[in-house]
Chain A
């Protein structure tokens, strides 16, 4: 650890300058836009913009869909990646191939998967074949609210592997002796997972869920690929709203919407963090 080194400024400068220029300073500067009316006189209007945006139907629709879509993706990824990581661990050294196969889509451009996705979810496609084979009716996957299914699955397909890798890495750090001792004491496999793995995984779970959720807020390109720039209103996301406002150079609405969303995100994380803080002592 270097102390009292002037040279630290040299290392910090490029990154700090960029962060300040592209994120921090305009973030604070943007507050000015969100509090003025954007006319020629640019009067100060207080929180009027915020009141307006919370009455804007398209904003509310985008916000609702973004939250709903992210809450479909994140818990699904979270739970599934945990199950997969535990399964991988049970295979020991033979898990390598499977783990690599699971991680592969994370590096793949989902844009290039668009066509095959459209084929799979076509009315006469493979997914409907499976449905009929299971005795269900065909579904119009590419229209209306059913569009959410291919969108969420494309997202999960791409992002699942990374969470699996983080979980798998964390599982490696649990000493095998814990499990062996528990077995000697007569704990069943299920008991071992619940009593040993779950508590030890709590911090990692929190991180994985947080990362999965933050990333799922970004869900837009999947919608854009499958539903286009003007999709059905069940998949109209906040990003669609912002894009639309940007094309009209409407800084007031854009900044107000962004800060409103930021406040919601911070409140959600604050809640998540405080519930974890309450539980933390019992882990030790």
Chain B
């Protein structure tokens, strides 16, 4: 609705004079964008520094001599991809951690795909007893901080005997209340005619779900996938508690601490490799995130 009503207004805007405030806005935003992007750019840049240069550079850290500075390195004397070679081929323990991250993220996203939209559909498109109460419970779970919701999860994970196994990290995440809420809010906004048309053609609720609702929800589903990916890829709290004694099963996100001490030369290459999939996901789902948030009843 709002999209349509906005269009004429936007068209008019083009003819408007450029306000003087816009120059200030551009300067401010450029500054912000540079500040925000620089850490990422430098991580990639530093990943190409050879071992000798990077080790020497990192040794300058933690020096309390007020006369000395750390140089801001811009370019390596000799660019090197040897660190990447080391991570990917020579020392498989890094690759193993990376694969752990991939497995957890994939398993969580697949489970969520099966459970979450279905639940959101039931909560938004059906009238049944206790629906509002159930939604209220989900809202409450959503606003409870992780330190609180973690406790019941641990109790039942122990009860089921799957604590200290990869399932402990994966299973509770399948039922993440935030994504149920996010998708439900979007589905609430779908026009009734859409489903009525489906029912006219003789489709039951399941067919409506698969062939009408899911395709229409593409933006919010894309947004949910991207946001959930970001969550899983940067997971720290869950593996630290659920896999406390299983160092080999940790995802890479937990181990950067350790790597930055043990393998300073490969740390930047590892970080760059870890950022790369997130960049792809971002560019692939960018429009969906924006559209999903814009169209859903989040605001």
Q: B-contacting residues of A (Cβ < 8 Å)?
A: 1-5, 7-8, 10-12, 14-16, 18-19, 21-27, 29-30, 33, 66, 84, 87-88, 90-95, 97-120, 122-126, 129, 138, 140, 142, 157, 160-161, 165-166, 169-170, 172-173, 175-177, 189, 203-204, 207, 210, 214, 217-218, 220-221, 224-225, 228, 238-239, 242-243, 246-247, 251, 254-255, 257-259, 261-262, 265, 269
Contacts and interface: CB of A to CB of B under 8 A. Distances in A.
28 contacts: A2-B125, A3-B126, A5-B128, A8-B126, A11-B205, A18-B115, A19-B175, A19-B177, A23-B175, A23-B177, A25-B152, A26-B152, A107-B282, A108-B234, A109-B233, A111-B236, A111-B274, A112-B272, A115-B43, A119-B61, A124-B61, A124-B68, A140-B64, A160-B36, A169-B298, A214-B145, A217-B145, A258-B147
B36 A105 contact: yes
Interface in B217-250: 226-227, 229-230, 233-234, 236-237, 240-241, 244
Most B CB contacts (10 A, CB to CB) among A98, A126, A175, A255 go to A98
B115 A98 contact: no
Interface residues of B, number: 114
B21 interface: yes
B77 interface: no
Nearest to A89: B25
A218 B145 CA distance: 6
B241 A246 contact: yes
A66 to B, nearest CB: 8
Interface in B149-163: 149-157, 159
B155 A243 contact: no
Contact of B70 (A102, A122, A172, A243): A122
Contacts of B78: none
A281 to B, nearest CB: 20
Contact of B152 (A22, A90, A95, A238): A22
- At the interface, is chain A mostly helix, strand, loop or mixed? helix
B5 A166 contact: no
A7 B137 contact: no
Given A19-B138, A90-B25, A228-B257, A110 B234 contact: yes
Interface string B118-135: 110110011110000010
Nearest to B173: A22
A91 B26 contact: yes
A85 B206 CA distance: 40
B74 interface: no
A247 B244 contact: yes
Contact of B40 (A1, A104, A189): A104
Contacts of A261: 145, 147-148
Most A CB contacts (10 A, CB to CB) among B28, B281, B293 go to B293
Contact of B226 (A8, A102, A105, A107): A107
A11 B152 contact: no
Given A5-B126, A26-B151, A93-B10, 16 more contacts: A1-B192, A5-B128, A7-B205, A23-B152, A23-B172, A23-B175, A24-B137, A26-B156, A27-B152, A98-B32, A102-B33, A104-B282, A107-B282, A116-B39, A123-B63, A239-B237
B178 to A, nearest CB: 9
A90 B299 CA distance: 19
A2 B147 contact: no
B48 interface: no
A120 B175 contact: no
Contacts of A11: 118-119, 121-122, 126, 205, 209
Contacts of A255: 151, 155
Contact of B125 (A1, A207, A239): A1
Contacts of A123: 62-64
B174 interface: yes
B268 A29 contact: no
Nearest to B286: A100
Interface of B: 2, 5-6, 9-10, 12-13, 19, 21-22, 25-26, 28-30, 32-33, 36-37, 39-40, 42-43, 46, 60-66, 68-70, 72, 114-116, 118-119, 121-122, 125-128, 134, 137-138, 141-157, 159, 171-172, 174-175, 177, 180, 192, 195, 204-206, 209, 226-227, 229-230, 233-234, 236-237, 240-241, 244, 252-254, 256-257, 260, 267-268, 270-272, 274-275, 278-279, 281-282, 286, 289-290, 293-294, 298-299
A262 B36 contact: no
Nearest to A33: B155
A22 B171 CA distance: 8
Given A106-B230, A118-B61, A218-B237, A2 B127 contact: yes
B119 A102 contact: no
Given A109-B275, A175-B9, A15 B150 contact: no
